[in-house]
Amino acid sequence: MNNIVAIVGRPNVGKSTFFNRLIQRREAIVDSVSGVTRDRNYGKSEWNGKEFSVIDTGGYIKGSDDIFEGEIRKQVELAIDEADAIIFVVDVEDGITPMDEEVAKLLRKVTKPVLLAVNKVDNAMRQQDAIEFYNLGLGEYFTIAGMSGSGTGELLDKLVEVL
């Protein structure tokens, strides 16, 4: 049993907020070899009796300028290599951004399970706004609010099913 789940996405979509809600125990950062591997938080979680490790990526990547795109790409590629399942977080407030498209392009090629989480869906109106994320070509999505925990149960039900 060593199920690894990676949370990926561009900065400020709410990855760490969701990660912090998810994990019960933060683990020591084992890798200090490169900037890339250090730029992550690890934690342990459990849902429906199934345990898994969670990686929160891109902790030190701030802002959303083009210069960060290479770093995000590295994080996503690393996650694809390492993880058994990937949660791709996007932000309903911003809609689809070019960087989301880039990440989606990488993830569409992946054979591992990819779950699309449309975050910051704090109210019913935003459920409607979330529909555009079908255009990322990743199939069904889960609307969540990492801050309140709304919708995260359905996402986690699916996650442990595919792990």
Least distance (Å) between residue 1 CB and ligand GDP? 27
Is 15 annotated for ligand binding?
yes
Is 89 annotated for ligand binding?
no
Least distance (Å) between residue 103 CB and Mg ion? 15
Q: Which residue is closest to Mg ion by CB?
A: 16
Is 64 annotated for ligand binding?
no
Question: According to CB under 5 A, which residues from 12 to 41 bind Mg ion?
Answer: 15-16
Residue 107 binding result from ligand GDP, Mg ion, none, given CB thresholds of 5 to 8 Å by partner type = none
Structure tokens at 117: 């989480």
149: left (phi over 0), alpha (psi -120 to 50) or beta: left
C-alpha triplet 86, 126, 99: angle, nearest 5°:
45
Residues 6 or more apart from 33 whose CB is under 8 A from it?
Answer: none
Tell me the β-bridge partners of 44: 25, 53
Q: Applying CB under 6 A, which residues contact ligand GDP? A: 9, 11-17, 119-120, 122, 145-147
C-alpha neighbours within 13 Å on the C-beta side of residue 66: 0
Least distance (Å) between residue 43 CB and ligand GDP? 13
Burial of residue 130, with CB atoms counted within 10 A of its CB: 0-12 exposed, 13-18 middle, 19 or more buried: buried
Is 35 annotated for ligand binding?
no
Residues of each annotated binding site for GTP: 9-16, 56-60, 119-122
Residues of each annotated binding site: 9-16, 56-60, 119-122
